[in-house]
């Protein structure tokens, strides 16, 4: 059965290090890639390229939403902090037993934007640092 995006939740530490649910402001979460670098281990005499898995990379998360003072204050307070922030993303919602992705990140950019015929929006980019945990709520 399809899962509706409206049930998704996104939580992020505030500047004090306390996890906050920002779901009511967010319209889109994307970019958690969960990739593994593949290291070329081909040697002389091999007839095909050979690889071995290297470091895992969660890449970046892009969060887009409707502008409000709450997410504006939240994201701008995290820009330039000297410690990472914890994030939790639950694509199907945060009911116990449902899938959840979590980890640590740096806020690398926060941009509000407006167009005459649309609501004011924001986009934040989060650089994942370290391992991403794929688990459940």
Instruction: Spell out the alpha helix ranges (H) of 25-130.
Output: 69-78
Distance between CA atoms of 62 and 96, rounded to whole angstroms? 25
Q: What is the mean pLDDT of each run of 10 residues along the chain (137 residues)?
A: 89 94 96 84 94 85 96 94 95 94 95 95 95 91
How many Å apart are CA 23 and CA 10, to the nearest integer? Answer: 5
* CA neighbor of 9 nearest in space, from 72, 73, 82, 65: 65
Say what the pLDDT of residue 31 is.
84
pTM of the model: 0.86
Cα–Cα distance for residue pair 111/122, rounded to 1 Å: 5
């Amino acid at each position: 059965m399809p899962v509706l995006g409206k049930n998704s939740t996104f939580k992020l530490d505030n500047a004090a290090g306390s996890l906050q649910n920002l779901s009511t402001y967010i319209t889109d979460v994307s970019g958690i890639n969960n990739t593994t670098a593949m290291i070329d281990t081909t040697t002389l005499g091999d007839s095909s390229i050979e690889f071995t898995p290297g470091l895992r990379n969660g890449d970046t998360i892009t969060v887009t939403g409707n502008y409000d003072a709450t997410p504006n204050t939240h994201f701008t307070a995290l820009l330039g902090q000297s410690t990472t922030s914890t994030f939790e993303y639950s694509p199907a919602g945060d009911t116990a037993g449902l899938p959840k992705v979590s980890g640590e990140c740096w806020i690398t950019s926060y941009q509000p934007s407006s167009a005459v015929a649309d609501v004011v929006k924001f986009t934040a980019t989060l650089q994942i640092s370290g391992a991403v945990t794929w688990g459940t709520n």
